[in-house]
Structure 1
């Protein structure tokens, strides 16, 4: 699951470097130069940057851009820096969604294209087969990945062993290819034609697509297993295959049409196509699961509205299914495959999102090593400076792909960024407007507690702000003229940590006159279930009984205005997102027959 994306890059990376939109001559200088770049790119970016450094930045076990953002914000809370860091983290998340669309398309398509090597005349069947596989992959998401996951390890194990053996066979025939380890070959390649070398970087970086998954999946598997698996199994297997492909090109330049599959003997090519296809399905599954996970994090951290999230496993909390994300991804993936029609054309769209995310991770790493880990400044500047140069070079090279398809992930990223920032900004403005009109709780209790008629039972008023009187409480008193015997003012807080322990879950404050303020804390990776938590609440009278408890929710109708805050079109967008959000009743798992919604209008 972790190495599926980067593990399938040999299917297209080297081929695209030579036969892509900026073609290279298949001669010794270019073969050695490209292989040298692949070796050192994998060593520096994946091994040094991600495995040895970034994996140490675990937010209580979790990884990924949003998790890194939350950790830095918590441990180094500087207002100005936090604002820019938040924008970087959100931008990385937006680019990730672009990557989630392209990865399944290019991976599955490149594997199925192996059929054209097995038998000529199969080209017409590549597109329908690839689309069929992708549709099937997305259709089974609702069933959960637990059963499919049991097959992941054996298939990927076999896949990595097979591509290693394929590479070794070619290296034995031409061991001189190991000269490419010497970085002088990369220097000679650039010296021969600097502009062509710069353009080639856009394809070379395809060899490390999926590196970000090593960090994002750390919460599922832990740092040590990922680190040792990469260093002692996955990286050697990938390098052996890349060196094998390069050795084949030295002896047979015409194999550049599809060096991965042409390394295998004729009898083994069809089984290899099937194995590669299964590996790409696994790579796609990992990206889809990642999209679900990142979307849930974004919802919990307040960057997206409430979305229907289904749990596909009673035992594993991390196994979730989000219908909206699943079908949106499927539609965009099919559109990509039909529009670009080949993995080579898709490679033009691939890379920008990946290199953009890598660049942002380096920027966030700079803040991490300087303010949280407090490295020696000169060591930190030197380390970060090297990777900023590398990431900038790769990102700049990929920008040249914009006219040929690179615009697509940028467009997806721009749309996702707009949605993420609009919701976060609009939510902040709405809470600010509600606070402006809120009555102090002490004043309300003194004036209303004794004057209003008290009726039996418990009323839970949910509010996003832990101060002031909830609007639902004011409206209930205004229209129904009564108060329940026990009033609970409930606020759910999502902390900037993946998990909050049961000991720190609940905070209760007695406000007097049988009014209580309760704050329930969750981590951004945890499932919210309010009734289950309320049953354990103490220090606020008798134990709560659901059949004697009513939940009051406030549903705001937003009115766009010309007040300072957001552009009018963003106010309309935020209003539309709010109308289409999942109901708070479903999101918080509230009992359907115990909920009362009271509406109000808010100008932002």
Structure 2
């Protein structure tokens, strides 16, 4: 097996110089007591080769599949950026056009903004910063967390690096700069907090984007009915919004093939209309490809020109959706659909509108509909309304997906996440968020009433995400890609400068509607920050108060503790040691199930974890008391299985672990000096042993003070396996029939048949008496209020109430 692991700089230097040979390993004796002191969760880690992939981002797909995905992406991703021609010129020239040369200047700005931001920055660079095919701000953060220990919750486990999708395949000592940046991030608490705030702020802004997109898109489309008053336009828009949010619960499983034809028709429509207006009115607007008109525009307008950037930037709204929705498609598919259809269509739409405005500058307030030829006016209107609804759908899907990632990474309160598609695993629906956004959309549309005011708010949400993405991708270029200095500097200087210039312009419209996304983001960031802070402190409390393994030994000797039938699953956040809630349960119920599993549901910073790598077990001494620790690992795009399925999976992998434990402890003796294989698979084929051998080698070297064999050296592993004795292999194959194995497996199966029961700690988190007033307010009031008004653990995991036991406990943090 090729272990998906990257050695640290120190490990690489040692291994390259003094790696022990397999011959030396063969002649040594194993110290099994010392070996078992290394966390035996390692025994289960990394058993699957790195062929798994959670997304399409790094797959080599055929052209047929790529073309199919590209077609579907048109219907899901580009509705927002595709409907921007409805309102960009109206928002830019809010006070009318006073000089026709300004039209050329704004068109030149639009052309180069689209080329620089969506095309070069996102399509050619940012899409490659995906996390196993998944995009978005939390995907960027997770990618950084895998290469540097910057998570505020100390639940790192070395075996997580053996998960297939970790993919740390670049030696970390190639460039000193990468190591230096990583060390500075890991040693700075302030840097860790700031880094966490980036995805939190980005999530808040995407939520704002998802709230404002339906408002401005639908309102702009409906305004095409010239005979309607503004009140009627607002009313019809609100009705459409209510219908839009009401159908969200049906999911977006077939959104791609359902919406792609309509959006494709929209792009063909604006492309054809653009060509018609260009040749009918003024082909001379093509001069705007000369960037000289940008400098002339700012020289002529000064501060007014800078302020108009808040309208120009609306031409790239929805760009972030290309990255946020990447998990449904592939990098090549999105690159193909954008460059071949979206880019030329929207560019021609803006060029055609500019040509029309050169003759009719007075129509700037309704440029799009005014420039449409009369024979196709009403068909275009119908297509525009349809495209506006689709644009809203696209940003809502992105918002749901990012919130789902934030929940799994402990940065958002528990909400109900409904996976709406078996085909597209990243497509989710969150009822609470859906109706929250719907309420906000109705209030915004009724209050603002015009696209101009909404556009002022919209721009801030859009550009803020651009700035955050630029910063995180720069860090990835430093730490992960280890790009050259000039490439990093060029990327940061060009795109961070471009983003901040636009951000400064939209922030100037704070009082004209720009306050809305800022207030919305402040509210969400505060809630997410409070939740994550309390979540972290709660974990630290359990870590600092974990129970010694001696407690279980004493418990086994206590005649007053009764064993009751069934399997008891005790849930805890803790991934190391026995949680403090366990003795609290025993003291309250004075009984324990015949098999006890201390379960920790852990989210690791990758998109998906293969089922074969999900469960990690360790036996808690004494062995015959049958208490186990289990870490259940999920990626941020994984769904927690239904209760019955989860129970069956856990018990199946528990049995597998029991077999492996017997092989290790009984089939190999210290005198033999051999490492056991992993037995047989269910289909009778020999189980792969390389991962177990690797861990044994590491454990041996740790116990004897020797350097370890390079974990990515498949030839060393093969040589090592070849050196095992035939007697040991024969013993292992026969090991599955040993009485000890069968007895333990029968006990587990019998307990399973008697029922699985869930033990949840109802931990009340309070601040210590000597804490500051601010901490008491955050923990005792703010966090408590949020926690009481979100879904509790048993509801999220859908635990049957008839098999649930809860015990209260107070955590003072």
TM-score by length of 2: 0.71
- The answer to whether residue 485 in structure 2 is matched with residue 276 in structure 1 is no
Aligned to 1:499: 608
* Paired residues of 2:570 and 2:598 also in contact (CA < 8 A): yes
Aligned in 2, Cα 1:547/1:594: closer, same or farther, shift over 3 Å?
A: farther
1:519 aligned to 2:631?
A: yes
The CA deviation at 1:147 is 4.8
Query: Which residue is 2:20 aligned to?
Result: none
Deviates more, 1:1-10 or 1:587-596: 587-596
Residues 126 and 462 of structure 1, relative CA distance in 2, 3 Å threshold: same
Q: Distance in 2 between matches of 1:133 and 1:383?
A: 41
* 2:332 aligned to which of 224, 239, 251: 224
Aligned partners of 1:568 and 1:172: how far apart in 2?
68
How far apart, in 2, do the equivalents of 1:350 and 1:95 lie? 10
User: Which range moved further: 325-334 or 310-319?
Assistant: 310-319
Q: Quick check: 1:5 aligned with 2:114?
A: no
Match of 2:109 in 1: 37
Match of 1:54 in 2: 126
Aligned to 1:194: 302
Give the match's secondary structure for 2:416: coil
Distance 1:535 1:438, change over 3 A: closer
Q: In the alignment, is residue 481 of structure 1 matched against residue 593 of structure 2? A: no
**Equivalent residue in structure 1 for 2:775, among 541, 548, 567:** 567
Distance (whole Å) between structure 2 residues aligned to residue 146 and residue 60 of structure 1: 21
Choose which of 221, 233, 236 in structure 2 pairs with 1:126.
233
Task: Tell me which of 172, 193, 205 is aligned to 1:95.
Answer: 205
Partners of 2:551 and 2:426 in 1: CA distance: 42
Map residues 279-318 of structure 1 onto 2, 5 A cutoff. Answer: 279-318=387-426
Aligned to 1:319, which of 424, 427, 433?
427
Other-structure match for 1:72: 144
Change in Cα spacing, 1:97 to 1:434, as seen in structure 2 (3 Å) is same
Q: 1:591 aligns with which of 794, 800, 803?
A: 800
CA deviation digits over 1:54-103, x for unaligned, max 9? 00101001000010111012123332344322111211111111111111
Tell whether the 8 Å contact from 1:528 to 1:589 is kept in structure 2 after alignment. Answer: no
- Structure 1 match to 2:571: 462
Bigger Cα Rg = 2
The residue that corresponds to 2:177 in the other structure is: none
C-alpha separation in 1, matches of 2:390 and 2:98:
32
Question: What is the rounded CA distance, in whole Å, between the counterparts of 2:128 and 2:358 in structure 1?
Answer: 40
* Aligned CA distance change for structure 1 residues 532 and 291 (closer, same or farther; 3 Å): farther
Q: Distance in 2 between matches of 1:504 and 1:469?
A: 22
Task: Give the direction of change, closer, same or farther, for the CA distance of 1:483–1:202 in structure 2 (3 Å limit).
Answer: same
Residues 379, 569 of structure 1: alpha-carbon distance in 2 compared, 3 angstrom cutoff: same
Give the equivalent residue in structure 1 for 2:617. Answer: 508
CA RMSD of aligned residues (A): 1.7
Q: Is the 8 A contact 2:205 2:464 kept in 1?
A: yes
Contact kept, 8 Å, 1:35 with 1:246, in 2: the verdict is yes
Q: What CA distance in whole angstroms lies between the structure 1 residues aligned with 2:516 and 2:108?
A: 30
- 1:431 CA drift (Å): 1.8
Matched, 1:260 2:368: yes
Task: Give the whole-Å Cα distance in 2 for the aligned partners of 1:290 and 1:525.
Answer: 13
Inter-CA distance 300–602: structure 2 relative to 1 (3 Å threshold)? same
| 1:29, distance to aligned residue in structure 2 (A) | 1.4
Higher mean alpha-carbon deviation, 451-460 vs 491-500, is at: 451-460
Equivalent in the alignment of 1:246: 354
2:174 aligned residue: none
Instruction: Please state if 1:581 is matched with 2:688.
Output: no
Aligned to 1:554: 761
| Residue correspondence of structure 1 range 128-147 to structure 2 within 5 A | 128-147=235-254
3-state secondary structure, aligned to 1:272: helix
Provide Cα deviations, 1:189-247, integer angstroms capped at 9, x if missing partner.
01112211111111100000111111111111111111111111101000000000000
State the secondary structure of the residue aligned to 2:598: strand
Residues 1:372 and 2:480 are matched in the alignment = yes
Q: Secondary structure at the match of 2:454?
A: helix
Deviation for aligned residue 1:491: 0.7
Q: 1:17 aligns with which of 92, 116, 122?
A: 92
Q: Could you tell me which runs of 5 or more consecutive residues in structure 1 were left unpaired when the two chains were aligned.
A: none
TM-superposed CA distance for 1:140, in Å, is 1.0
Q: 1:372 deviation in Å?
A: 1.4
In structure 2, what is the equivalent of residue 536 of structure 1?
Answer: 652
Do structure 1's residue 154 and structure 2's residue 264 form an aligned pair?
no
Partners in 2 of 1:532 and 1:91 — Cα distance?
Answer: 39
Closer, same or farther: CA 142–68 of 1 in aligned 2, 3 Å: same
Secondary structure of the structure 2 residue equivalent to 1:521: strand
- Residue by residue, what CA displacement relative to the aligned partner does 1:362-419 show, whole Å, maximum 9, x if unpaired? 1112111122111111231122111111111000000111000000000000001001
Residue of 99, 124, 137 corresponding to 1:27:
99
Structure 2 CA distance for aligned equivalents of residues 379 and 526 of structure 1: 34
Deviation of 1:547 (Å): 4.5
Distance (Å, rounded) in 1 between the aligned partners of 2:460 and 2:754: 54
Shift of 1:312: 3.0
Q: Is the 8 A contact 1:18 1:26 kept in 2?
A: no
Q: Following the alignment from structure 1 to structure 2, what is the Cα–Cα distance between the partners of residues 583 and 76? A: 32
| Distance in 2 (alpha carbons) for counterparts of 1:597 and 1:466 | 20
Helix, strand or coil for the counterpart of 1:499? Answer: coil
Q: Contact between 1:106 and 1:343, CA under 8 Å: does it hold in 2?
A: yes
CA separation of 1:546 and 1:465: change in aligned 2, threshold 3 A? farther
Shift of 1:287: 1.2
- Take 1:560 and 1:107, find their aligned partners in 2: how far apart are those partners? 46
**2:415 equivalent to 1:208:** no
How far residue 340 of structure 1 moved from its aligned partner, in angstroms, is 0.3
Distance across 1 between alignment mates of 2:339 and 2:195? 31
Check conservation: 1:472, 1:552, Cα contact below 8 A.
no
**CA gap 1:121/1:455 in 2 versus in 1, 3 angstroms:** closer
Change over 3 Å in CA distance of 1:557–1:66 after alignment to 2: same
